[in-house]
Amino acid sequence: MKIMQEGALLSASFFIVAAALAQQPATLEIDAQKPVAHVSPILYGLMTEEINHSYDGGLYPDLIRNRAFMDDSYGPHGWVLIEQGNARASMELDKSTGPSTAIPRSLKVTIQTADAKNQAGVANTGYWGMAVRGNETYLCSFYAKSDGGMTGPMTARLVSDRTGAVLAEATIPAITGEWQQYKVALKAGAVPVVSAENHFELVARHAGNLYLSLVSVFSPTYHDRKNGLRPDLMEKMAAMHPKFLRLPGGNYLEGDHIPERFEWKKTIGPWVGRPTHISPWGYHSSDGMGLLEFLEWCEDLKIQPVLAVYAGYSMKQEHVEPGPELEPYVQDALDEIEYVAGDTNTKWGAERAKDGHSAPIPLTYVEIGNEDWFDRSNSYDGRYAQFYKAIKARYPQLQLIATTPVKSVKPDMIDDHYYRSATEFFNDTHHYDKTDRSGPKIFVGEWATREGAPTPNMGAALGDAAWMTGMERNSDLIVMASYAPLLTNVNPGALQWDTDLIGYDAVKSYGSPSYYAQVIFAEHLGNQVLGAQVADAGSRFFVSSTRDAAAGKIYLKIVNGSSLSQTIRIHFNGVTQVQNEARLTTLRGNTPEETNSIGDPGRILPVVSTIHNAGTSFEHTMPPYSIQALDIQAK
Ligand code: AHR
């Protein structure tokens, strides 16, 4: 009896505490009679640049690090010497010979002694290891020449670090005294455990000198595209239902110094013609991801490019004065547009066809520069106007984006950037509600809640989701928005910028809670914005209400950023019939700090369920720290 009383007391007090942990019921009135705006059909997209080893060591699946020996002036960074048994050899960076004027360097391997059992050569450890999967084929290619009696053969192989087991191997029968490219397929047999603990070896069994350059071991790619992209990362992007890709940056477009900008003409054609370049994020870029690869990335995801052209400003306060000095840069941008969208009877359209892509790529948006508010010379107004006039004269249909407001011409669109805390986004979801609709349209080309590292946590996802409700409500004005940065290799030393949407190592990848928030919002976009009035909700409750008119669906995206659950009485005006069953997608965390990681990728994932009490007026309770989407069938 006593025990029962205690039990009853306990459950009564639990009930009181639980009730105290819920907020007062809120009301949400949705006006479905008349949409207040159209939703931009291309609202959500992707922003990319080479940062955090997004391409080399990430999306670009060449396993070899420093393949052209251009990464370091002092030594062959990423490469180590192999002397098996009694073999004796040395290696050095050779700046006097290379396979082309663009790649004037090589790795000279001097083999004093070697034989079949005591081989000598070099190894590459990749970008924090190399993933080798069973029954996959890796395309190995390299440029080489030899002297001092070396005529081959050579062996290329993928080897397990732990066991020394050869996972894939091929022989190159002979090497000549002239620079030449060699290609072999490395076919892996069964690989018991897929790990990153593997490396690549290129070895010989005779004395002599070998000169090596542009050594590549290419993994299978998304849609089997030649020089294509890493499949798991492309699949993650595809699941975001993006509509565009802003390329190629970001700071990566500008470079620290003018000669370090993204010079697109040096990124097209065969690798051997691409000189590679130093990026502003502190490491060298192989430029395997050149302009055409970006465009093919768009094609593979069936999205449009938003082409950012270099506009005469680099980040260390270097700028090109508007006027005659800027003319070559303007011409370069015109050529770039022609390379993307020109017919094959144009000079640069023909060049694109020569590079393997004869069909022009549809282009609507061109961005002139990046974050030119940093240019303290105030030259952007003049620079923008010069690009604008030249591009519009030739391509009047293009929409030209300015990176900061200008006065001399009216840009079609302005690119606004926001890197903020969750609280800052919570407090600013009405940012665009009163913006003048007669001004330029808005592209929120970079935005993110910067909480969590290397990838954002649940608290960040809540900040993001709150901000997205504001962007959707204003998507008559905000035509496009893209989170940044998109990608990070999570290995120590790989990252330059915290809070990146998707994380990975050599073997696997995962989406952050913010990634899933994007997926949920993009999956429930709709095409009309419905008016929504919220009353009595806490300051951390946010809603976006849209409709897909053709499908007869109303999408409610609701965000509860508070530590308390939130009950809402939802009422629809202007609909007479609402199906009781509604699909509910929930993303939630126990704390704002809770997150996904490479070791725990599925801690926070969207969960789909069904509610059975939907109606023209119904009550719904949201858990603490949650983002939900309700698909409501209504007439
Ligand atoms: O997204 C990271 C950097 O932030 C971008 O390169 C730059 O445009 C911004 O300052």
* Rounded Cα distance, 400 and 398, in Å: 6
Pairing label, strands 399-402, 365-368: parallel
Name the E strands within 313-462.
313-314, 318-319, 365-368, 399-402, 413-420, 441-449
Residue 359 CA neighbour count, 13 Å, CB half: 6
pLDDT tens digit sequence for 136-194: 999 999 999 999 999 999 999 999 999 999 999 999 999 999 999 999 999 999 998 99
* Rounded Cα distance, 65 and 276, in Å: 13
* Rounded Cα distance, 9 and 14, in Å: 8
Looking from the CA of residue 371, the nearest atom of ligand 1 is 8
Sign, Cα dihedral of 616, 617, 618, 620: positive
Tell me: pLDDT of 435 over 70. Answer: yes
Least-confidence region, from 70-74, 299-303, 613-617: 70-74
Looking from the CA of residue 497, the nearest atom of ligand 1 is 2
Provide the pLDDT confidence category of residue 21 given band limits of 50, 70 and 90. Answer: low
Which two tokens mark 73?
Answer: 């002036």
| pLDDT, position 405 | 97
| pLDDT, position 72 | 83
Looking from the CA of residue 49, the nearest atom of ligand 1 is 6
pLDDT tens digit sequence for 235-252: 999 999 999 999 999 999
| pLDDT, position 23 | 76
For residue 223, which amino acid is it?
Answer: H
| pLDDT, position 569 | 97
Looking from the CA of residue 251, the nearest atom of ligand 1 is 6
Pairing label, strands 304-309, 365-368: parallel
Selection from 138, 132, 126 nearest residue 190 by Cα: 132
Average pLDDT over residues 50-56: 98
- Residues at CB less than 6 angstroms from ligand 1: 49, 51, 249-251, 370-371, 446, 484-485, 497
**C-alpha 251 – ligand 1 centre gap (Å):** 6
**Which residue among 47, 48, 49 has the greatest number of ligand 1 atoms within 8 angstroms of its CB, and so is best to mutate?**
49
| pLDDT, position 7 | 38
Helix, coil or strand: residue 488? strand
**Which residue among 279, 488, 497 has the greatest number of ligand 1 atoms within 8 angstroms of its CB, and so is best to mutate?**
497
Average pLDDT over residues 439-450: 98
**C-alpha 369 – ligand 1 centre gap (Å):** 12
What domains appear along the chain, each with residue ranges and CATH number? Answer: 23-37+526-633 (2.60.40.1180), 44-58+223-519 (3.20.20.80), 79-218 (2.60.120.260)
> What secondary structure does DSSP assign to 185-238, as a single string?
EEE----SS--S-EEEEEEESSSEEEEEEEEEEEPP-GGG-TT---HHHHHHHH
For residue 579, which amino acid is it?
Answer: Q
**C-alpha 252 – ligand 1 centre gap (Å):** 8
Looking from the CA of residue 419, the nearest atom of ligand 1 is 4
Tell me: pLDDT of 17 over 60. Answer: no
* Rounded Cα distance, 519 and 546, in Å: 16
**C-alpha 228 – ligand 1 centre gap (Å):** 25
Overall size of the chain counted in residues: 635
Maximum alpha-carbon separation in the chain: 98
| pLDDT, position 75 | 84
pLDDT tens digit sequence for 553-588: 999 999 999 999 999 999 999 999 999 999 999 999
Sign, Cα dihedral of 260, 308, 351, 42: positive
**C-alpha 449 – ligand 1 centre gap (Å):** 13
Helix, coil or strand: residue 377? coil
| pLDDT, position 6 | 37
Looking from the CA of residue 448, the nearest atom of ligand 1 is 1
pLDDT tens digit sequence for 318-346: 999 999 999 999 999 999 999 999 999 99
Which two tokens mark 500?
Answer: 């990146």
Dihedrals phi, psi of 9, to nearest 5 degrees: -60, -45
Average pLDDT over residues 362-367: 98
| pLDDT, position 14 | 39
Looking from the CA of residue 484, the nearest atom of ligand 1 is 1
Which two tokens mark 10?
Answer: 């306990």
**C-alpha 355 – ligand 1 centre gap (Å):** 30
Please tell me the residue having the least CA distance from ligand 1 atom 5: 250
Looking from the CA of residue 280, the nearest atom of ligand 1 is 6
**Which residue among 419, 483, 487 has the greatest number of ligand 1 atoms within 8 angstroms of its CB, and so is best to mutate?**
419
**C-alpha 547 – ligand 1 centre gap (Å):** 33
Helix, coil or strand: residue 20? helix
| pLDDT, position 24 | 79
Please tell me the residue having the least CA distance from ligand 1 atom 8: 250
Provide the pLDDT confidence category of residue 13 given band limits of 50, 70 and 90. Answer: very low
pLDDT tens digit sequence for 395-430: 999 999 999 999 999 999 999 999 999 999 999 999
**C-alpha 214 – ligand 1 centre gap (Å):** 30
The sheet with strand 607-611 has its strands ordered as 37-38, 528-529, 541-548, 553-560, 626-633, 582-588, 607-611
* Rounded Cα distance, 130 and 318, in Å: 39
Which two tokens mark 68?
Answer: 């052209």
CA 93 to centroid of chain Cα atoms: 33
Looking from the CA of residue 249, the nearest atom of ligand 1 is 6
Please tell me the residue having the least CA distance from ligand 1 atom 4: 250
**Which residue among 373, 417, 502 has the greatest number of ligand 1 atoms within 8 angstroms of its CB, and so is best to mutate?**
417
pLDDT tens digit sequence for 345-355: 999 999 999 99
Whole-number average pLDDT of the chain: 95
For residue 224, which amino acid is it?
Answer: D
| pLDDT, position 230 | 98
Average pLDDT over residues 437-441: 96
**C-alpha 400 – ligand 1 centre gap (Å):** 20
Helix, coil or strand: residue 405? coil
Which spans in 434-579 are helix H? 458-473, 513-523
